[in-house]
Structure 1
């Protein structure tokens, strides 16, 4: 009798220990974004196979794709269908500096509503996952004289657009330069990260200083419990005024990956994603031209 009781007790303890082991097993980590900006208005329809090869070569899983306001819906659907087949997430990439002057965010909202409409006309797993606003109001000639007023209008418009994006179940990502805080625009930066986006994509175009230039943005993102992205420029020096200090064109992809790994280690408590800029430059560097 005593042996049976002891045996039952030991069996219960064993089952308890196994149960604890199962419960404590960590959940697999959610796959991070590895993305690329694409300003190719044709959506690569003339050569989708090459587009897929570029994505596979760098193990990319996300494309931020510009969608022309005049793009044929059937073409957009074709691109989305192929991306879904390849397990790629697609975000609509859009924006213009002039949109930063509109405190109602009407131009941004129109683009959001158009992408939401397209999503209603494709299978649910084929649609846009979100929208990326690349507005850059600091490119306006009047920005230097009226930067606080313009930034206030920009942030106001972003907040309104963000609410619409949420109502349409679209992620809302905002592109920002790394230097808003250098221009004493910390308050606007805080509002963009905490109140006007699901996450920011930092145009971190200063080789070797990426971590330093992410410090404040990462602090705000951590406070808001939001992810963020760091973008690496791959265009050649001389393009749009780029110099060697702005681009990894000469240093190559291994240098990008090494830098990104160092950022991840330094910002271990902040979820951060890697993004390349842009598709045409990357395609050339990989030899797919």
Structure 2
């Protein structure tokens, strides 16, 4: 009888680990910061200034947009310099049209360029991962042909997953905080769109563009569903915030409040989710506007 209860206890523990994953981070695993660098030509003349800014502001990942018109030697030099400061560089690109049949060529061109670059570069000059910002909801089809647009978006995500896997690079995708309110019902099955993207990629950046951490419309609550699902799925989430001016409302950005206020609010987000193994830190959009904010 005692043996039976012993085995029952072990089974309960195993099941609890399966269905209720631990929130605790592994020892030594910290919270990071990342930012987007869209104006790629800046790495030609300003690489030292950029890396210096990233280092001072505690950034350990930068999403660098791939611009094929910039010579590869500049990518080599910038990535080497960033790596010396333990800053990882992700290849960044994306546009709404990527979630269309005609836009597939842009996705292919991006990954073809990246594949050639990785083959030619030395280890210290290579990208660490892929980060895509596609935003399919900016297409007219998001309202006029939602089902078709979502399906094309999912097909794009799967192709990006396959190409990233072939390069042995982790894939991150930007998604809005309200994707958890959107559904899909097609050849990929039926379910919650945010959960689907989180499940297929290695990490997501949730664009929780608000200037307050707490409250029902604050950053903490806006990413809670994604944080909980990523915890269950064993994936990573970054909380994305805005620093550029916004015509949609002052509450969407820290542009008016300044960097000091922003850092205080972001510390609250870190405090709330710092023990979650799914939490990877903050993503500040973007380098150019953040730099202005800090001056």
Task: Name the TM-score, length of structure 1 as normaliser.
Answer: 0.81
Confirm or deny: 8 A CA contact 1:101 1:154 kept in the other structure.
Answer: yes
Tell me what 2:57 maps to: 58
Q: 1:243, CA displacement in angstroms? A: 2.1
Q: 1:168, CA displacement in angstroms? A: 0.7
Q: Helix, strand or coil for the counterpart of 1:170?
A: coil
Confirm or deny: 8 A CA contact 2:90 2:130 kept in the other structure.
Answer: yes
1:194 aligns with 2:202: no
Give the direction of change, closer, same or farther, for the CA distance of 1:192–1:27 in structure 2 (3 Å limit).
Answer: closer
Tell me what 1:20 maps to: none
Q: CA deviation digits over 1:131-182, x for unaligned, max 9?
A: 1111111111222111222111111221122022012111111011112234
Q: CA deviation digits over 1:211-237, x for unaligned, max 9?
A: 111122112211211111111101124
1:230 aligns with 2:239: yes
Q: Helix, strand or coil for the counterpart of 1:205?
A: coil
CA distance in 1, matches of 2:242, 2:291: 13
Unaligned runs of 5+ in 1: 1-25
Alignment of 1:206-217 (within 5 A): 206-208=210-212, 209-217=218-226
Tell me what 1:280 maps to: 288
Q: 1:85, CA displacement in angstroms? A: 2.9
Alignment of 1:1-289 (within 5 A): 28-102=27-101, 107-183=106-182, 187-195=192-200, 197-208=201-212, 209-237=218-246, 241-267=247-273, 268-269=275-276, 270-287=278-295
CA distance in 1, matches of 2:102, 2:146: 14
Confirm or deny: 8 A CA contact 1:201 1:229 kept in the other structure.
Answer: yes
Give the direction of change, closer, same or farther, for the CA distance of 1:62–1:103 in structure 2 (3 Å limit).
Answer: same
Confirm or deny: 8 A CA contact 1:134 1:175 kept in the other structure.
Answer: yes
CA distance in 2, matches of 1:174, 1:283: 24
Q: 1:194, CA displacement in angstroms? A: 0.4
CA distance in 2, matches of 1:80, 1:157: 27
Q: Helix, strand or coil for the counterpart of 1:60?
A: coil
Alignment: residue pair count = 258
Tell me what 2:9 maps to: none
Confirm or deny: 8 A CA contact 2:259 2:293 kept in the other structure.
Answer: no
CA distance in 2, matches of 1:279, 1:258: 19
Unaligned runs of 5+ in 2: 1-24, 185-190, 213-217
CA distance in 1, matches of 2:43, 2:130: 19
CA distance in 1, matches of 2:105, 2:150: 16
Root-mean-square deviation (CA, aligned residues, Å) is 2.3
Q: CA deviation digits over 1:14-70, x for unaligned, max 9?
A: xxxxxxxxxxxx975134331111111204221222212321231212211111133
> Which stretches of structure 1, 4 residues or longer, exceed 6 Å deviation after superposition?
none
Give the direction of change, closer, same or farther, for the CA distance of 1:155–1:103 in structure 2 (3 Å limit).
Answer: farther
Q: 1:285, CA displacement in angstroms? A: 1.8
Structure exhibiting the larger radius of gyration computed from Cα positions: 1
Confirm or deny: 8 A CA contact 1:175 1:202 kept in the other structure.
Answer: yes
CA distance in 2, matches of 1:102, 1:165: 20
Task: Name the TM-score, length of structure 2 as normaliser.
Answer: 0.80
CA distance in 1, matches of 2:206, 2:102: 22
